[in-house]
Amino acid sequence: MSMRSSTRTLLRQLKPRNNALTSAIPLTTARCIHSPPPRKSSSNPAMAFPCLDALESRSQTLLSDRSSPSGPEPSYTVGETQKYTCEEPLLLDWGGVLPSFDIAYETWGTLNKDKSNVILLHTGLSASSHAHSTEANPSPGWWEKFIGPGGPVDTDKYFVICTNVIGGCYGSTGPGSVDPANGERYATRFPILTMDDMVRAQFRLLDHLGVEKLYASVGSSMGGMQSLAAGALFPERVGRIVSISGCARSHPYSIAMRHTQRQVLMMDPNWNRGFYYDSRVPPHAGMKLAREIATVTYRSGPEWEQRFGRRRADSSKPPALCPDFLVETYLDHAGEKWCLTYDPNSLLYVSKAMDLFDLGVEHRRATLARRRERQEAMRKGDSEAVAAPAACTLTLPETPYEEQPESQVDTTEPSVPGSSRPPEDLIQGLKPLRDIPTLVMGVASDILFPAWQQREVAEALRLSGNRNVTHMELSEEMSLFGHDTFLLDLKHVGGNIRLFLG
């Protein structure tokens, strides 16, 4: 049989079945197959998202505003500062070197003849050197009411120096600075920093100014960490220490919160793995969200209960997925104010330095061993051994983390929040500070640097042999402002600083 005959026979066999099948299809179903009915309108209108509209509008504004010949990079500045340029290389704790670096700083008061009245003031994560107004920059500083003639930090007595940390973006060398080796911005080629690296850079400035010994090292939040680090690194050069709402090592909650901030920033497509400086739109959306997360940790639940409660911005309007409750509008405003005033890469590097902070003796010994190896390599001119690792060797785990049975948790070394005795590792790590009078202050409503961490510092100092430790803890009745108390409470924070400094 030919191919054509076979085909005709097969069609005759199938024809009755097809007719039967077609007749069995309901009329409505057949109509759906051949001509879909007109689309019906939705049961409800689509929701509006003014918060997303605002982000898109900012991006469009940046696209138009930043296409000028002056370049796209925003100016992260708070006004006039003094600048010290150090031409001597700075070797960093985790590898890498800054061939040279700048330190932006400001001063208040008068330096006495023997330079013995100097107070080094350390900043928080996002603060600049502008702690108080100056003639060159009369705008109020972040500690305006605390510094000045007759103030807690009395400029009739003391010469106050405040720097912008390396890694920052307010004049000191950071990821947005130009690498002298190739004339390009460091971006994420900038090496990982530590608190100790920042303090070493500050003491290079003190060397330049001829200051052999500080009257006091004073700091709050991240500055409280640096203030303790200054005593650990240069005990013979620090006369007193003030550490407010700080710690001797970062604890898991604060690390987790800063990790979350970094993640939302790095997930912004405009971040571009840190190489956004020549882009027309910086990662402003990621920065805004990161700041909102940070603000949750800076203030307290009790304060927000009194300040906002469950009130909505406008209870006459239907609920929305954009900022709706008063506390949401507060967080939104905090993010809006900050998202274009701080370099995103600086946030990544400085916050990571906070996570790495640990004054325990084992950590310090390991760091010292690494530094000795690299110092020897630098002496021999082995630039490859001195440089930071060329690539990150970390890998994400193949299987997700699983909760461990309680019996497998190692509780022999870490201190338990609220326990009476700090771990021996920390006691030994703080021994360099045993001869330095120290004021440690904490706030009960602080959730980022909880008060048990300041109690731990004070007790570890006492157990290390320091007989001149003053510990003050502000109860919730004294302050509801959480971590930000150090910026706001002139009476209790300022009053205790005044008494301690004498």
Q: Give CA–CA dist 270/43, Å, rounded.
A: 37
Helix axes 344-355, 252-266, angle to 10 degrees: 160
For 179, the token pair is 């690498």
Give the dihedral sign, CA 423/428/433/435: positive
Q: Give CA–CA dist 59/54, Å, rounded.
A: 9
Q: Give CA–CA dist 242/433, Å, rounded.
A: 12
Q: Give CA–CA dist 295/447, Å, rounded.
A: 11
Question: Which is catalytic among the residues 446, 464, 479, 489?
Answer: 446
- The CB density around residue 326, as the number of other CB atoms within 10 Å, is 17
Nearest to 73 by CA among 231, 276, 318, 348: 276
Instruction: Supply the DSSP symbol for 482.
Output: G
Instruction: Supply the DSSP symbol for 400.
Output: -
Q: Are 95 and 384 in contact (CB under 8 A)?
A: no
Classify residue 57 as exposed, middle or buried by CB count within 10 Å of its CB (0-12, 13-18, 19+): exposed
Judge whether 446 counts as a catalytic residue: yes
Q: Give CA–CA dist 245/228, Å, rounded.
A: 12
Paired strand residues for 37: none
Nearest to 249 by CA among 91, 370, 364, 368: 364
Nearest to 237 by CA among 209, 264, 259: 209
Q: Are 211 and 202 in contact (CB under 8 A)?
A: no
Q: Are 148 and 327 in contact (CB under 8 A)?
A: no
- Long-range pairs, 315-321, Cβ under 8 A, ≥24: 320/47, 320/48, 320/50, 321/47, 321/49
- 393-to-184, 273, 350, 421 alpha-carbon distances in Å: 25, 17, 21, 37
Q: Are 165 and 350 in contact (CB under 8 A)?
A: yes
Judge whether 333 counts as a catalytic residue: no
Q: What are phi and psi of 105, to 5 degrees?
A: -150, 160
Judge whether 220 counts as a catalytic residue: no
Q: Strand 90-91 to strand 97-98: parallel, antiparallel, or no bridges (unpaired)?
A: antiparallel
Tell me the CA end-to-end span of the chain in Å, nearest whole number: 116
Question: Which is catalytic among the residues 130, 483, 484, 489?
Answer: 483
* Radius of gyration of the CA atoms of the chain, in A: 30
The continuous run of DSSP H or E covering 148 comes out as strand 147-148
Question: Which is catalytic among the residues 126, 128, 221, 250?
Answer: 221
Residues serving a catalytic function are 221, 446, 483
